[in-house]
Amino acid sequence: MSETTHYRTCPLCEAMCGLEVTVENDRVTRIRPDDDDVWSKGYICPKGTTLGYMHEDPDRLRAPVVKRDGEFVEVSWDEALRVAHDKIRGVIDTHGMDALAIYYGNPIAHNISLAKYVAPLTAMSGITVGYSAGTVDQWPKNVSAALMFGGMWTIPTVDLDRADFVMMIGANPHASQGSLLAAPDVCGRLREIGRRGGKVVVVDPRRTGTVKYADEWLPIRPGTDAALLMAMVNVLFEENLVSLAHLEAKVNGLDDVEKLCKPFTPEFVAATCAVPADRIRLLARELAAAERGAVYGRIGTCNQEFGTLASWLVDVLNVLTGNLDREGGSMFANPIAWSITMLPNPEYTDGFEFGRWKSRVRGAPEVFGQFPVSCMAEEIATPGKGQLKGLLTIAGNPAISAPDAGKLHDALPMLDCLISVDNWINETSTHADVILPGMSALEIPHYDDIIWSWAVGSAGNYSPPVFPDTDRPQEWQILLMLAGFCMGQSPDEIDVDGLDDLFFHGLVDALTQMPGFALEGRDAREIIPECREEGGPLRILDFQIRTGPFGDHFGAKPDGLTLADFEAAPHGIHMGPMIPRLAEVLKTPSGKVELAPPYITADLGRLQKRVGRKESDLLLVSRRHVRSNNSWMHNVPSLVSGRDRCTLLVHPDDASRCGVRDGAKAEVRSEAGVIVVPVEVSDEMTPGVVSLPHGWGHDRPGIRVAVAREHPGVNNNLLAPGTFVDEISGNQAVNGIPVVIRAA
């Protein structure tokens, strides 16, 4: 019996924990935390130990499947690719390119092949219509970052280990393990802040698990964060607490912000936010007084009605208190390997512009080229010129994750062509004509991509595959084939390596001409032969490391890093804590931080109307759990065992008022739909707010996830109205949905 030990990074969430994987006779026998991992130092969560199960999951697709007479049949790769080609060409040749769309899902950010090859897929295929999980997630933050700092992913994060005051708003790292904040054991690090005499305040309608590690819970009415933050801005100006410090000469629009915050006094917003005016004043003073403080906002501040205003104000507060780009404040990460997503987008060289075109059916303005994901259903279902006839889903499950789920369930079967690049037959891919599976997390190499762009330190870790499989195409090859089909190439003539070279050479060529790039002015023809011989994501990764801040710059810094250094360091390489980087990352046309972008401040009128608005007395918010990962890990028995977690949390007062009982079922009704779900009465909810997890609803016909089927839960997006959006980013509002509940 041969036992081998493998060190690798868990790809499941942004914490990027190091795992020690033991394999005996080709089977995983144990997964433990890697105590020597330079980044996670022995931290993991229960999901990390399930990679072996997911690798062996009998429901996971190992071969492509094609729909025949309503049933999936396993076919050869040649056959599956031929069907995919014919389906794609059928749509493009009959209806034109505009009838074909891509939906990008969340795991793209966590898979090396997908992270590096969605860009060439998009660019080469010529597909112009894109939808993504991004518009139920961080689109508002992308808008505020683009307009304030000049890049949609130029997003600062809290320098957790050196902060002494953190206001955490709309985030629950106890469940999520941190988001747009990459740090293993966020909660442990929050507790340390208190231990060193600092303070953590959690602003959330629910007393979450994170609160146990914090010093104070401040309940808030969903969707009113922007009002609360604006009132804090008001206090900073009123009480002369604004102190830009090192940012003094680097900011535009300070006077505008001072004027704009005038109406938003603490008294004006207090009742709406359900936060006492005195507490708002104190909060502003605490932030101002902190030597190293930061406001950190996440999904509760994004996928809600005023997502962009809230996202913007988080950074405004960090600027006004001099905390942006300061140690222990809110800082820009310094990744060892840059991400393609972070490169400046040539579309916006003269600044960002939104609403350049509108969606066909609803007239929704585009933002970064996308419409709210809920538009997808109506674009499929509504006949006429420009109707969507084909869809490629790449690692996504919009049938569960997109608002107005009921409409998408009805629309997906109407497509002439649905191709899913996915590893399971789930609520979305069950409608596919072809499913092209990727490999398990243990069969592919790993090195995190964009997540390092908001990590609390500069580190990196390369993991070779535990079970290399050379007989099947890698996902980057699948994506390039799909691109080739869109370009008109047939499965017989397609040259994947040629397309890969075309993309890679083009990238190197463009970057050697980009001002400020590590290889600026060098000759691409001399660089390319120095790159790794094998194509694919590792060649790109090596290039990204070598041209990054610690790289060898192809000879210019002989002691610098290359991918080979990581291959020789199974526990990773850590290059140190966060450093001030504002001057380097700032790309606004003015060269300054734009504190009052007109596109955003024009939305303040809408916020003003929200204050005092009469509304339903019960609002629904979403939640996550540490043993769950969006919609796709409910097929792991150890993660779904125990009591039902898909419950509606209801405050005792609301429960008695509405006549619902703990353990019994309630009917929950919104403008969009009605569901029935078990109730959990709990004083961890603030009165007037109920909470339901997202990612459930595995009771759809045709899915092949046996374990998940036994623990179906309900899809909370059946309740989310598609048109309920943060208007200026187009991000869906899945928090703060007016609902009515009663006993079922």
Ligand X SMILES: Nc1nc2c(c(=O)[nH]1)N[C@H]1C(S)=C(S)[C@@H](COP(=O)(O)OP(=O)(O)OC[C@H]3O[C@@H](n4cnc5c(=O)[nH]c(N)nc54)[C@H](O)[C@@H]3O)O[C@H]1N2
Region from 6-14, 55-63, 450-458, 558-566 binding ligand SF4, contact rule CB under 6 A: 6-14
Q: Nearest residue to ligand X, using CB?
A: 300
For residue 544, report the phi and psi dihedrals to the nearest 5 degrees.
-65, -40
Q: Which amino acid is at 325?
A: D
Region from 9-17, 344-352, 384-392, 472-480 binding ligand SF4, contact rule CB under 6 A: 9-17
Region from 43-51, 131-139, 685-693, 711-719 binding Mo ion, contact rule CB under 5 A: 131-139
User: Does 208 participate in binding ligand X (rule CB under 6 A)?
Assistant: yes
Q: Are 262 and 603 in contact (CB under 8 A)?
A: no
For residue 66, report the phi and psi dihedrals to the nearest 5 degrees.
-125, 145
Of the candidates 204, 651, 113, 158, the one whose C-alpha atom is nearest the C-alpha of residue 394 is 113
How would you label 367-405 residue by residue, b for 16+ Cβ within 10 Å and e otherwise?
Answer: bbebbbbbbbbbbbbeeeeebbbbbbbbbbbbbbbbbbb
Distance between CA atoms of residues 587 and 617, nearest Å: 44
User: Does 14 participate in binding Mo ion (rule CB under 5 A)?
Assistant: no
Q: Nearest residue to ligand SF4, using CB?
A: 48
User: Does 182 participate in binding ligand X (rule CB under 6 A)?
Assistant: no
* Helix 112-125 and helix 475-487, axial crossing angle in degrees, nearest 10: 10
Region from 94-102, 347-355, 620-628, 723-731 binding ligand X, contact rule CB under 6 A: 620-628
Applying CB under 6 A, among 111, 113, 177, 731 the residue interacting with ligand SF4 is 177
Region from 43-51, 409-417, 445-453, 720-728 binding ligand SF4, contact rule CB under 6 A: 43-51
User: Does 48 participate in binding ligand SF4 (rule CB under 6 A)?
Assistant: yes
Element (H, E) at 294: strand 293-297
Q: What is the number of H-type helices and E-type strands within the chain? A: 26, 29
Applying CB under 6 A, among 133, 147, 648, 650 the residue interacting with ligand X is 133
User: Does 17 participate in binding ligand SF4 (rule CB under 6 A)?
Assistant: yes
User: Does 112 participate in binding ligand SF4 (rule CB under 6 A)?
Assistant: no
17 vs 508 by CB, closer to ligand SF4: 17
User: Does 649 participate in binding ligand SF4 (rule CB under 6 A)?
Assistant: no
CB of 457 to ligand SF4, least distance (A): 15
Distance between CA atoms of residues 721 and 246, nearest Å: 44
Q: What are the Cα distances from residue 337, in Å, to 186, 199, 458, 461, 585?
A: 23, 33, 9, 10, 15
User: Does 629 participate in binding ligand X (rule CB under 6 A)?
Assistant: yes
| 604 touches, from ligand SF4, ligand X, Mo ion, none (C-beta below 5 to 8 Å by class) | none
Interaction residues for ligand SF4, span 272-311 (CB under 6 A): none
Cβ burial, residue 260 (10 Å; 0-12/13-18/19+): middle
CB proximity list for 346: less than 8 A, separation 6 or greater: none
How many Å from the N-terminal Cα to the C-terminal Cα in the chain? Answer: 56
Element (H, E) at 20: strand 18-24
User: Does 421 participate in binding ligand X (rule CB under 6 A)?
Assistant: yes
Of the candidates 731, 727, 738, 723, the one whose C-alpha atom is nearest the C-alpha of residue 609 is 727
User: Does 10 participate in binding ligand SF4 (rule CB under 6 A)?
Assistant: yes
Applying CB under 6 A, among 214, 367, 621, 660 the residue interacting with ligand X is 621
47 vs 431 by CB, closer to ligand SF4: 47
How would you label 276-286 residue by residue, b for 16+ Cβ within 10 Å and e otherwise?
Answer: ebebbbebbeb
# of chain residues touching ligand X (CB under 6 A): 63
CB of 109 to Mo ion, least distance (A): 8
Interaction residues for ligand X, span 666-725 (CB under 6 A): 691, 694-695, 716-717, 720
Beta bridge partners of 155: none
| 438 touches, from ligand SF4, ligand X, Mo ion, none (C-beta below 5 to 8 Å by class) | ligand X
| 44 touches, from ligand SF4, ligand X, Mo ion, none (C-beta below 5 to 8 Å by class) | ligand SF4
Of the candidates 700, 734, 632, 76, the one whose C-alpha atom is nearest the C-alpha of residue 413 is 700
Applying CB under 5 A, among 137, 185, 204, 427 the residue interacting with Mo ion is 137
Element (H, E) at 21: strand 18-24
Of the candidates 104, 100, 107, the one whose C-alpha atom is nearest the C-alpha of residue 131 is 104
Q: What is the DSSP letter of 741?
A: E
**Residue whose tokens read 């400046």:** 344
CB of 568 to ligand X, least distance (A): 26
CB of 327 to Mo ion, least distance (A): 28
User: What token pair was written down for 155?
Assistant: 């997003």
Q: Which residues bind ligand X (CB under 6 A)?
A: 13, 105-107, 111, 133, 136-137, 169-173, 175-177, 179, 203-206, 208, 220, 222-223, 225, 298-301, 303-304, 395-398, 401, 421-424, 426, 438, 475, 621-624, 626, 628-632, 691, 694-695, 716-717, 720, 734-736
Q: Which residues bind ligand SF4 (CB under 6 A)?
A: 10, 12-13, 15-17, 44-45, 47-48, 177
Q: Which residues bind Mo ion (CB under 5 A)?
A: 137
